[in-house]
A and B are shown apart, each in its own frame.
Chain A
Amino acid sequence: MANLLTIETKRCKGCGLCAYVCPKKILELDMSNVNDKGYNPIKCIDMSECTACAMCARMCPDSVIKVERDV
Chain B
Amino acid sequence: MSNILEIKNLVVSYGGIEAVKGISMEVPQGQIVTLIGANGAGKSTTLKSISGIVRPKEASILFDGEEMVGKSPDYIVSKGITLVPEGRRVFPNLTVMENLKIGAYLRKDNLKDDLEYVFRLFPRLKEREWQMAGTLSGGEQQMLAVGRALMSKPKLIMMDEPSLGLAPLVVKDIFRIIQTINEEGITVLLIEQNANMALKIAHKAYVIETGKITMEGTGLELLENEEIKEAYLGKSKK
**Do these two chains interact?**
no
Interface residues of B (CB under 8 A from A): none
